[in-house]
Structure 1
Amino acid sequence: MTTLIAPPRPAVPGPAAPARARLGAFTAESTFIGRSFRHSVRDVEALLMAIMLPTMLMLMFTFIFGNAIDPSGGYVDYVVPGIILLCAGFGASSTAISVSRDMTTGIIDRFRTMPVRSGAVLTGHVVASLARNLVATGVVIVVALLVGFRPDATVLGWLAAFGLVALYILTITYLFAAIGLAASSPEAASGFGFILLFLPYVSSAFVPVETMPEWLQWVAEYQPITPIIETIRGFLMDTPVDDTVWWALGWCLAILLVAIVWGGLLFRRKAGRR
């Protein structure tokens, strides 16, 4: 007796697993920017300290040391540009702590499983810090006007000064973000960042360079902060800036480029993303 064997049925392919779509750049960036903004709003103490410390320094230098440095009473016009950069530095230093906290608390491991560009995390921190520091800088300028700051800047001068301040804040924020990535803990990030906050004191922020000891004049004159301060001072007081504006822009762009490349390499290595 012959047994009939039915031919095997062809396998019917099941539904393919949906591919995980990668979010667009704008969607990823806006998501992490919103996240960093929410953290900034909740951390009111950090914002207040970023405003209060430079304001207190300005009041101290104006009313306690000002008459000894400049008996004419015009010292506030000289010191405000340096205070603006101090404000930017204090505000940006919190970025190093925030980035380091993200890297050490395990949240990056969660982000690594998401279909987003790895650099979006850093972009969120930097953009939120830039906006926060611009607000703090505006408050410091208003306080300076209340205590006697009288700039002679034209509209173009104000716009140029604002643009340079924004570029400096962007630069130092990216640098602090890279420091946060390099540090082993938020406490270490705070310590490393604090060293950078001393640079304005060794510049023309509070006293002219020529009044310093000769061995210190070279350091103060050729460090990045001095040409940036002198350019902002020239824009606000409507005085010639000569070639200091090119030195200021060159320093900002060079440091920004190094910080972006350094931060990108550190993030890819520590987060394991490309």
Structure 2
Amino acid sequence: MAEQAGVPQGLAGVKHIIAVASGKGGVGKSTTTVNLALAMAADGYKVGVLDADIYGPSQGMMLGFAPDTRPQVRNEKFFIPPVAHGIKTMSMAFLTTQETPMAWRGPMATGALMQILTQTEWDELDYLFIDMPPGTGDIQLTLAQKVPVSGSVVVTTPQDIALLDARRGIEMFNKVNIPVLGVVENMSVHVCSNCGHKEAIFGDEGGQKLSAEYGVDVLGKLPLSLAIREGADAGKPTMVSAPESDAAKTYGEIARKLHALLQSRAEPFAVPTIGMSDD
């Protein structure tokens, strides 16, 4: 990607940008983003996270940054992204306080996001995960049009209303020619911590419905889990707090699927050989 013309200077060393999106809020998109980033880092890749949810940034808390964390600035122009658990991170939360509401209209929010994305010194990264805001508005379209996104991941729950909005997200990426690498079905089943009983609270096989309808892969399913929520709130996501857990293994499997998909798309087409015969 660094060889493409028009790539902003701050992104010149980033090999792949993955947008993690959802049609609606509350489906676990940010939790999925941070754990996939940590899973990639655990496999030895250089990884960054951009918190693109201008109105509700959460990556700072999820990665355990102190509320007063601020990025260093080089040449009065470029932000040096803070690092946690080996992940370079940039978020609007680092430029405001917890009590500061982002009461901005669309163009202001979009301009701020493009500034922190393109004026951050990401240096050499294998993967930059963008935690997208929910919906399909100005910010999503601007990112799609101005940033060389390698692919997208859509996070949903099995609930019909979440699937309805996830469809809109898939349609948006299709219209702007960004490949949808797959769907992550979050909160797919609740496992009782006392008896182990499994119950599909939000419905069943929602990801499979999207897969059949749009021809996208179901990359993995995550349970509705108290431990996942507690780890994110405490600044120690599942990949850090419980790396041997079933959920962490699922995040790792999803990350490896994403890597394989992007590697296969990056491979050059084989040049056909022409043979000669007397026939």
Same fold (TM over 0.5): no
Between Structure 1 and Structure 2, the one with more strand by share is 2
Between Structure 1 and Structure 2, the one with more helix by share is 1
Structure exhibiting the larger radius of gyration computed from Cα positions: 1
